[in-house]
Structure 1
Amino acid sequence: MRKVPRTVRMRLTLLYGTLFTVSGAVLLAITFLLVQRNAVFKVRVPCFDKAAEDCAFRLPGTPLESADSVRAWREQQTQTQAQEFLVQAGIALAIMLVVSLLLGWFVAGRVLRPLRTMTTTVQHISARNVHERLALTGPRDELKDLADTVDGLLGRLETALDAQKRFVANAAHELRTPLTLERALLEETLTERRPTLEAFRATFERILTISDQQGSLLESLLTLAISERGLDGRAPVDLAALTEQVLATRPETPAGGPEPPAGGPRLYPRIAPAATAGDPALVERLVANLVDNAIRYNVPGGSVDVATGTRDGQAVVSVSNTGPVVPPEQVARLLEPFQRLDRSARGDGHHGLGLSIAHAIAIAHGGTLSAVPRQDGGLVVQAAFPAADS
């Protein structure tokens, strides 16, 4: 097997040397051809005729020869000088080849020095010091672009790791709270001297409620993980049909009357065709989360506007509700997992995953999810997906 050098520096050095050798040999051949063609080699012809005026030098005691013999002697001398020229030029080419290899090794080292620096820095970066950057200085060239690209990648990794740490911490807290409450309920029941059947029943009912909340939390976490992983396949999705299905299952939807039941918020659907492609189950979950959030975080006698349609080449579903005033600087935080406007609200069975799941589903479908606070309270949340091809 042919042995290939493993280092880029050695390969560049051999490449420089090969290019110099080939170009030197070609230059030598062209020079030799030009020399022969223009008769640069001058041969001093001995003079056999005393009367000759173009005599270069005289060989004493040389007999007179014919013109043919003089021509043959001239050609022999020319060939001898040409061979000496080739030998001397070859020696010079060999010397310069060694010099070119040394210079190539040096130049390759200088060119690859920033790359070695970047490699060393990246090797020392881990989860503990992912905040470090290459910060390569110098002119804007390919190596500078590569360093900036790696710095951008490290920045995105740092953001993802921070989000993962916050997610794990929040998830652990959300799961630990109901477990602690379950243990406290069981210990309270067991420490009673004479527990009654009603006490056991009440404790078990509360534990069942807490278990249902834990199951809902785990299901939400699984949906969030699936959404962030991406889609395995795409199928035609009709946002209008999915939104109608979601609204039909909500008890707050008025059934033949203008007033919503139990004083809940009034729903105002404006459904228009909106076709896209993706996972129908995930898109339905997105619409359900937006509608549930709009209903849950509302005011008595409030309203919820649900609209679908196609705008600017995108399939859009928009949900707007009345509710508490949301500060604009808090909107971005609400799209993160386990984030709610009222952080003190605990034990209500809601974990602040509705908007974060909707956001992850929209991103997985190549769309966007935006939230804008209303001046008189509430939010306008809009999910936009790439429209399906006609």
Structure 2
Amino acid sequence: MRLTARARLTLLLTTLVLAAGGALTALTYLLMRQRLRHGTFFTELDPAGSPSAGATQPAQSLHDLADRMVADTLSALLTQAGLALIAVTGLTAALGWLMAGRVLRPIRAISATAHRLSAENLTERIPVTAPADELSTLAATVNDMLDRIQHGVAERDRILDSQRLFTANAAHELRTPLTTARTAIDVTLDGNPNRAELLTMAGDVRNAVQHVQRVLNGLLLLARSQAGIGAREPDDLAGIAAAALDAARQRTHDLAVHTDLRPAPVSGEPVLLERMIGNLVDNAIRYNRPDGHLTVSTGTAGGRAVLRIFNTGREIPPDEAQTLLEPFVYGQGARVRTEGLGLGLSIVRAVALAHGGQLALTALPDGGLDITVELPQHPVATADRPT
């Protein structure tokens, strides 16, 4: 038969009291017998110490009587002590049962709470009672564990929702050009198309295929960025930014471009760093306004290499700015959809995180974005590109 923890505690306490009471009874019995056997009364009745031979017989009778009295006393002592020990043991068992139940009550509360918890209900917590003992510490530890589990479940749900949204958006981005190509083919081939109509259809199909290819390339780069980086090489954000601005010079003829490119040495994968800064420059130009401004600066601060890009543009609600970091998000009312894929800032964030950095994005009150990327600074500045 398997005993419960309460029964085991009660049995342990009862056994300890029984053993202690038995030892105390035995010790009392031995000490009492020793005292009675060698007390003053037996010494006075000792025949060897009698003053005359005539007194030997009465003394012997008294000695026998004393022996019987001692034996009766010790027997009564054992009987009464045994009864008292039985009573104390029974009382101890009853009190031990009650005390064990009280001591184990917090554990039962923990068990009951654990049974009520599920993936859909992680809000309940175990009450932590005073004083601060081992059981209250256990309750607090379990509550901390439940907090971590709840946070993990919430984070898992958030990731799953984000993945589902990403999958749906990616499917939409790929399905739209394919649908366009299919429609162009069906409409053109529904009859006897001439050469001009076939060329128009071919152009539509080519544009759709190019769009699909750009989406797939963006997805592959995003996945590569999120998977981490391989071999690191020393580089300079200033040189990469200068090269990105030079490549986009034809698209900035109607913008006022300001640069402050100071050395910002980093260590990372050059291809990913180039794409990160290229995407930032591309977004700053693509979503700018005519006669707007674009400012790009690099430098170091607090042992970090810093890249900052801010541009004019449409007004973006502050609560919507962070959503622009999600894949395939273009903004509602703040940014019109253009030929962009909606992956630019997602790739930027993934590259920054892969290099141990961070990205901060702020919507400017008059429109546009202020984006800052901070990466761990490389101790030696080795920039191969002109600044």
TM-score (norm. length: structure 2): 0.69
Q: 1:135 to 1:360 in 2, by over 3 A?
A: farther
User: When you count helix as a share of all residues, which structure comes out higher?
Assistant: 2
Contact 2:9 2:100 in 1 (8 A): yes
Match status 1:273 vs 2:263: yes
User: Aligned with 1:370: secondary structure?
Assistant: strand
Match status 1:244 vs 2:239: yes
Q: What one-letter code is carried by the residue in structure 2 that aligns with 1:284?
A: E
Contact 1:213 1:349 in 2 (8 A): no
* Partner residue, 1:57: none
Cα displacement (A) at 1:233: 5.2
Larger RCO, structure (CA 8 Å, separation 6 or more): 2
Structure 1 unpaired stretches of 5+? 53-59, 126-131, 255-259
Among all aligned residue pairs of Structure 1 and Structure 2, give the percentage whose two residues are the same amino acid: 27
Cα distance in 2 for partners of 1:283, 1:22 equals: 74
Q: What one-letter code is carried by the residue in structure 2 that aligns with 1:138?
A: P
Match status 1:121 vs 2:117: yes
RMSD of equivalent CA atoms: 4.8
Q: 1:100 to 1:276 in 2, by over 3 A?
A: farther
User: Aligned with 1:122: secondary structure?
Assistant: coil
Cα displacement (A) at 1:252: 5.3
Cα displacement (A) at 1:185: 0.8
Cα distance in 2 for partners of 1:326, 1:340 equals: 11
Match of 1:212 among 194, 210, 213: 210
Structure 2 unpaired stretches of 5+? 47-56, 130-138, 381-387
User: Aligned with 1:269: secondary structure?
Assistant: strand
1:77-119 deviation line (CA, Å, top 9, x unaligned) = 99xx99x999x98998899689868965785464143345335
Cα distance in 2 for partners of 1:101, 1:114 equals: 20
Cα distance in 2 for partners of 1:253, 1:211 equals: 24
1:9-42 deviation line (CA, Å, top 9, x unaligned) = 96x66995798599779978997999799x5766
User: Aligned with 2:117: secondary structure?
Assistant: helix
Q: 1:308 to 1:14 in 2, by over 3 A?
A: farther
Q: 1:371 to 1:93 in 2, by over 3 A?
A: same
* Partner residue, 2:133: none
Contact 2:357 2:373 in 1 (8 A): yes
Cα distance in 2 for partners of 1:112, 1:366 equals: 46
1:215-237 deviation line (CA, Å, top 9, x unaligned) = 22122223334444x52657355
Q: 1:14 to 1:351 in 2, by over 3 A?
A: farther
Alignment of 1:1-390 (within 5 A): 39=31, 43-45=35-37, 63=60, 107-108=103-104, 110-122=106-118, 125=120, 132-136=121-125, 138-139=127-128, 141-142=139-140, 143-191=142-190, 193-228=191-226, 230-231=227-228, 235-240=232-237, 243-245=238-240, 247-248=242-243, 253-254=248-249, 263-341=253-331, 345=336, 348-388=338-378
Q: What one-letter code is carried by the residue in structure 2 that aligns with 1:205?
A: G
Cα distance in 1 for partners of 2:35, 2:203 equals: 120
Q: What one-letter code is carried by the residue in structure 2 that aligns with 1:356?
A: S
Cα displacement (A) at 1:381: 0.7
Aligned length: 355
Contact 1:316 1:382 in 2 (8 A): yes
Which of 1 and 2 has greater Rg?
2
* Partner residue, 1:257: none
Contact 2:299 2:307 in 1 (8 A): yes
Q: What one-letter code is carried by the residue in structure 1 that aligns with 2:127?
A: G
Cα displacement (A) at 1:293: 0.5
TM-score (norm. length: structure 1): 0.69
